[in-house]
Structure 1
């Protein structure tokens, strides 16, 4: 079997080695290690492989905490010391900025990170009835293939939810619609744990009784979702507190429905919002744009500073939720929202937003290419860019610097998803003339 010395990690957390001029991506290998591997896919310019044996281990290699690691697709880096994970993600961000954007940040920000376990307050779990495995399986998909992991616990879910996996399997196995319930979406708020059951057929009276008993016993709220995410409705208990999360630094409470997007890691999100406000420095009398604002995660923190803020989002449902949250927090006079497709932004549509002194951009993985291309010469003097994809950040940063007259003042990683290869980051851009 071939061997190689691992030079770095790629964006999926795989080890990278160069053998006879060809790049080999090796699952389960860490930087600095010498490993024996088996190739399972060959392409003209690269190969994909799995680690068979670690011949010289990295000092950062640790024993995975979860017994399902290696099979379950929920985590890819539990064999890597948590602090070393953060350092590797910072290097990946720097490499993307340098190689794809031709840029080097003037300052590297201290990484934002929190507890590596029990952090995941949002999850989408697959459900399958598999008779030969003894009944219902509930879990993340396996790393290889489309099967559901036979998950009996989960170290990245909060402990109360991890302990609920086996009782949930028993519950679903006793329903008449056990093979018509493909997914459970989890949303945990400050006061509520919500479980959204994707039901392809409505539960019968017996099923409803089982669901009510389970909810009462385990202290959860069941929602039923017959079709798309917007059809989810609260089933039991009907009364009780709504889903919400707090940003205590800004005295803000965000209310949300269990199928609306919120950050997976609420404790790291609090630090991220604080960092973003420190970099943006919104002031009373300024007008700030919050692009891809969602339900207002950053918008209301900006408004709390006294600045007026325009939140722009493509989803009418999220814009409506954002406006409700602004009103509920007494910030309706400072926060304005508009529905717009920022992936189709033009100079004309951006100009229609009016004067913006500063801007925060928090796009999905595809980035904000059309938006940054559409910025005018007298556009915002300061931009804080939150990214969940280093390659798209590097691409957009190159445009901001080379074509729009900004400097990349600083950048750093945000470890929103510990034990995974996911890299979140934050960057600050200022117009070159700014002092």
Structure 2
């Protein structure tokens, strides 16, 4: 029986919401069984309908809030509840931070068996129009005679039919409908699965994924779109290595009507007199204003001295390495993606920093301790992906560093690694706290300071 059939047969029920899950869903206990209910908040009495029954838990949808929480607010987005981009717009900003801080502290205690001496005050920047990087899905829908562009719906493979996005940075927030019209007009409209978007401080870029070659008419439509909306247009016919600007036609000739002139994307770190360049598909921190605060906090917590030697693992294109190099004697950055290492080196040279070196290495390789860069350091900064930094922790311990700052995008892997640093390598968890990189989502970004 499919979900829609079950939904028709399931009678409405009432429940008291006691908590939020790590995914931001309301948690209730009905007849001794846990139930997850989207869009319900702790303390609320709700009417709900059961959608799925499982062995360990059930899932339901909210029908009506009978007794609302004082922390409930009106979602700003007209598509909230269907679009999977945000799950917490109905919760006040202050309580969103409390929810994320609780996720962090619960993980540290439960998984890592550690507790910080100090809870850092949360960092928060603007909560709307903050996303400068996004991957938008696209799908031609014959029944609608148009292409849908946006984020995936919650728990379905479908794309939400939206007209604008309240969390995308301008001008991306108002380009949803124009992009839909653009792809609909292409001859290969059913062969364009996604559009990757990036906003720099100086320019905007769109990377259009194409599964078949474009006609000359298609290319002209894309160039015209770029000119009319002042965005740089790129094509991606294969993997990321195939991404190229639309500066030439399919034969390699300059087109009669060129695209917007290509200017390298960049973002600025004014407090450190730095400008970092990046490619449209490069990883950069999504929330620019929050990134500035995060870097300031990192420099403050590391308490750098002029002769410090600092190791920056998972350094990317130098987001932390270069500001640290402005304050320390030497910085060594290590990153797994060779392209990002090349960008980091270029950014260091462009900003006149001769005390920053960068190396490419697989940081998930447990034999990494034999690498040429693995030596003695005074301070270490870790900024790993969701999987964490378990494999490089022995390198950190052998470095002799008395201070380790761990920037995390997943509280579970941070908690695991915190337990290792404390219980196996003799560090103390001095402080930890959240940074709201993704407002209105259940994503938890955090920082943890370890000292010896």
Specify whether residues 58 and 349 from structure 1 end up closer, same or farther in structure 2 by C-alpha distance, changes over 3 A only: farther
User: What CA distance in whole angstroms lies between the structure 2 residues aligned with 1:36 and 1:135?
Assistant: 36
Which position in structure 1 is the counterpart of 2:374?
353
Unaligned runs of 5+ in 1: none
Contact 1:387 1:424 in 2 (8 A): yes
Alignment counterpart, residue 306 of structure 2, candidates 262, 284, 289? 284
User: What CA distance in whole angstroms lies between the structure 2 residues aligned with 1:104 and 1:408?
Assistant: 7
1:315 aligns with 2:326: no
Contact 1:414 1:425 in 2 (8 A): yes
CA deviation digits over 1:373-407, x for unaligned, max 9?
Answer: 45435631100000010111111101111111111
Larger CA deviation: 22-31 vs 289-298: 22-31
Deviation at 1:95, TM superposition (A): 1.1
SS at 2:154's partner residue?
coil
Which position in structure 2 is the counterpart of 1:191?
202
Alignment counterpart, residue 421 of structure 2, candidates 377, 400, 414? 400
Contact 2:307 2:330 in 1 (8 A): yes
1:269 aligns with 2:280: no
Larger CA deviation: 343-352 vs 158-167: 343-352
Which position in structure 1 is the counterpart of 2:217?
206
Deviation at 1:338, TM superposition (A): 1.2
Which position in structure 1 is the counterpart of 2:96?
85
Q: For 1:140-155, what aligned pairs fall within 5 Å after superposition?
A: 140-155=151-166
User: What CA distance in whole angstroms lies between the structure 2 residues aligned with 1:96 and 1:302?
Assistant: 29
Alignment counterpart, residue 386 of structure 2, candidates 345, 360, 365? 365
- TM-score where L is the length of structure 2: 0.92
Contact 1:406 1:430 in 2 (8 A): yes
Contact 1:350 1:375 in 2 (8 A): no
Deviation at 1:25, TM superposition (A): 1.9
Alignment counterpart, residue 343 of structure 1, candidates 364, 367, 372? 364
SS at 2:246's partner residue?
strand
User: What CA distance in whole angstroms lies between the structure 1 residues aligned with 2:43 and 2:67?
Assistant: 8
Unaligned runs of 5+ in 2: 1-11, 248-258
Contact 1:243 1:257 in 2 (8 A): yes
Alignment counterpart, residue 164 of structure 1, candidates 175, 178, 187? 175
SS at 1:53's partner residue?
strand
1:412 aligns with 2:416: no
Aligned CA-pair RMSD: 1.6
Which position in structure 2 is the counterpart of 1:219?
230
Specify whether residues 128 and 347 from structure 1 end up closer, same or farther in structure 2 by C-alpha distance, changes over 3 A only: closer
- TM-score where L is the length of structure 1: 0.95
Contact 1:411 1:428 in 2 (8 A): yes
Specify whether residues 377 and 230 from structure 1 end up closer, same or farther in structure 2 by C-alpha distance, changes over 3 A only: closer
User: What CA distance in whole angstroms lies between the structure 2 residues aligned with 1:248 and 1:156?
Assistant: 24
Specify whether residues 327 and 28 from structure 1 end up closer, same or farther in structure 2 by C-alpha distance, changes over 3 A only: same
Larger CA deviation: 9-18 vs 399-408: 9-18
Specify whether residues 46 and 215 from structure 1 end up closer, same or farther in structure 2 by C-alpha distance, changes over 3 A only: same
User: What CA distance in whole angstroms lies between the structure 2 residues aligned with 1:318 and 1:198?
Assistant: 21
SS at 1:133's partner residue?
coil
Specify whether residues 306 and 348 from structure 1 end up closer, same or farther in structure 2 by C-alpha distance, changes over 3 A only: closer
Larger CA deviation: 35-44 vs 321-330: 35-44
User: What CA distance in whole angstroms lies between the structure 2 residues aligned with 1:352 and 1:213?
Assistant: 48
Contact 2:138 2:147 in 1 (8 A): yes
User: What CA distance in whole angstroms lies between the structure 2 residues aligned with 1:255 and 1:202?
Assistant: 29
SS at 1:344's partner residue?
coil
Larger CA deviation: 280-289 vs 387-396: 280-289
